[in-house]
Chains A and B, each alone.
Chain A
Amino acid sequence: MDTTNGISLNLSCTSCGGAVDTVEGQRVVTCRYCQTLLYIDGDRGVYTALFRNNLDNQRAKASLDQWFDKGFKARDLSKKAKVTEVYPIYLPFWRLMARAAGWVCGYREEHYTDKNGHSHTRRIPLEKMVFRDFEWSEIACDPGDIGVTRLPSNRGQVVSHDEGDIPTFEATTSPDDAKLKGIDSIRKMAVSSASVPHITFEKVHVLPRFLTLTFYPIWMCRYTYQGRTYFATLDGISGSSLSGRAPGDPLYQSLALVGGATAGGLILGLSITGLTAGIDIEIPAIGAIAGLIIFGLSFLFFRHGSEITEGDIDRPYNKSIRGLIEDATGLEV
């Protein structure tokens, strides 16, 4: 791992007193004056990296204008939006690299119909090895509602210090807590990657490689549209949008409802017709479910499409779906 541009600690050699070049997270270092090998005791901190901010105000506004024209946002957004604030910040992210080594055993079920038309289920046993590297990241402070919870990328240019006056948010979670959470998340990712639907046995070891604290440049953009305030965040390295809220368009909402209802209804009707015409039950059943899903999705877009959200922001229809599941099952989702 390249630590040449990490955040440095100021220490002196115990043999000759010379300044020792170290970075946070290093365990052993050689004094360049007397060649003594030195061990770093105590709180070494973690490897810390600061990524260079590549955008300026002009480029950020240009990226924001492009974002206005994408997706199902209000068609006149780029003309009528008034940008009130555009500024960069550094957000801290924990990043853990680890190797997972283990096995996940279980089975999947296969349904089939025999020549007499009876349905049966058979179990196909599975054993899957997981032995590869994983990466986990999470924001190291309270992200509020900005919709950025994971490190956008790790391809930035690492610099030893911020070259401008960009506000930097401090990490509010400890390295030990981050490491434990990262290990647990990676274990779950590893088990999930085995794709065993019904698990009878699982054992996965997670061997951490390194934990870093990365300060990533994010541009915050606030704007108003028809008297309401919205926001967007931009990746300070690539300029792409990361998250945001934007007004929807009533025309798109109406088209979604009409189109979805028509398509869903048509498929549902054809499915029922097929069933009454004696077609095997699987095809009409799949058709009926597809028709209902199409109608359901178009209704949700109509219901909640007045505001478009992107990124890791809790969407209104997520709450609707969660609410439905919670009401039906009595469990908290």
Chain B
Amino acid sequence: MPVNLTAVKCPSCGRPITDHQTDRVFLCDCGVIHTRDDDGTREVPYEVAALPKTDLPSASVIYVPFWRMDSEVTIDYERTEGGFFHRLFGKDWKGGSILIFVPAVEWDPGTYKQWSTTLTSKPPNYQRAPDFGEFQRMPVSVEEGEAAQLADFLILTFEAEKPGVLQEISYEVRVLRSILLYLPFDRSQGGFRPLF
């Protein structure tokens, strides 16, 4: 198959994209984000969390993308050694609807797990902003398909980290809908401090 160059244009308004950031998604001035691969072009639904009032300079604030996946989890069977009292008296989750958050950026495994676990356990409350304003955004480097695999890993992690030692499990994670959620962070002191 020969190699061809195609100008990246917004599928909604048709304007050429001029964003120079190396990203897996393309943001148009009209507000549409789309992605493309050899199978074609598709719009990516997204939300931008509004930044609360802050004195931070704009260069300190960065929007970090997360895949927010509306999912259905089914746990058919689970066998654990130990954890008897937790299973007897604790509220053991047997599956159901859940919002799973997976960072869409290349972070080290520790940071990655920390944020996906934190946000999935306690989903963020935020107001929606119409756009990114003057603030930068981190490029997306994890595609939707990969995010679904990481969501599966995250649910397995929740089950494995319950009291007791997991020995066997039969479960399924079905991702019903995915959107990109951009959350604001302060990066002025090294690391990422949430601003939501």
Contacts and interface: CB of A to CB of B under 8 A. Distances in A.
Interface in B77-95: 81-82
A129 interface: yes
B153 to A, nearest CB: 4
Contacts of A129: 157, 160
A contact residues, range: 35 or more
Contacts of A102: 153, 156
A20 B5 contact: yes
B4 A42 contact: yes
Contacts of A132: 109
A205 B16 contact: no
Interface stretch (A11-19, A67-75, A146-154, A221-229): A11-19
A39 B130 CA distance: 27
A101 B167 contact: no
B22 interface: yes
B29 interface: no
B56 to A, nearest CB: 30
Interface in B101-145: 109, 112-113, 142
A44 interface: yes
Contacts of A105: 160, 165-169
B60 to A, nearest CB: 27
Nearest to A15: B7
B149 A107 contact: no
A197 B191 CA distance: 38
B20 A37 contact: yes
Interface in B1-50: 1-8, 16-20, 22-23, 26, 36, 38
Contacts, number: 110
Contacts of A201: 166-169
A30 interface: yes
B146 A207 contact: yes
Contacts of B5: 11-14, 20, 29, 38-41
Contact of B3 (A15, A42, A133): A42
Contact of A125 (B7, B109, B167, B169): B167
A41 B16 contact: no
Contacts of B149: 101, 205, 207
B152 interface: yes
A14 B36 CA distance: 18
A177 B165 CA distance: 37
Nearest to A13: B5
A262 interface: no
Contacts of B2: 42-43
A326 interface: no
A193 interface: no
Nearest to B9: A37
B150 A207 contact: yes
A73 B112 CA distance: 51
A11 B7 contact: no
16 contacts: A14-B7, A15-B16, A38-B8, A39-B5, A41-B38, A101-B150, A103-B157, A105-B168, A127-B165, A127-B167, A129-B157, A131-B109, A200-B167, A200-B168, A201-B168, A203-B156
Given A38-B8, A105-B167, 11 more contacts: A9-B3, A15-B16, A38-B6, A42-B2, A43-B2, A105-B160, A105-B168, A107-B167, A125-B167, A131-B113, A207-B150
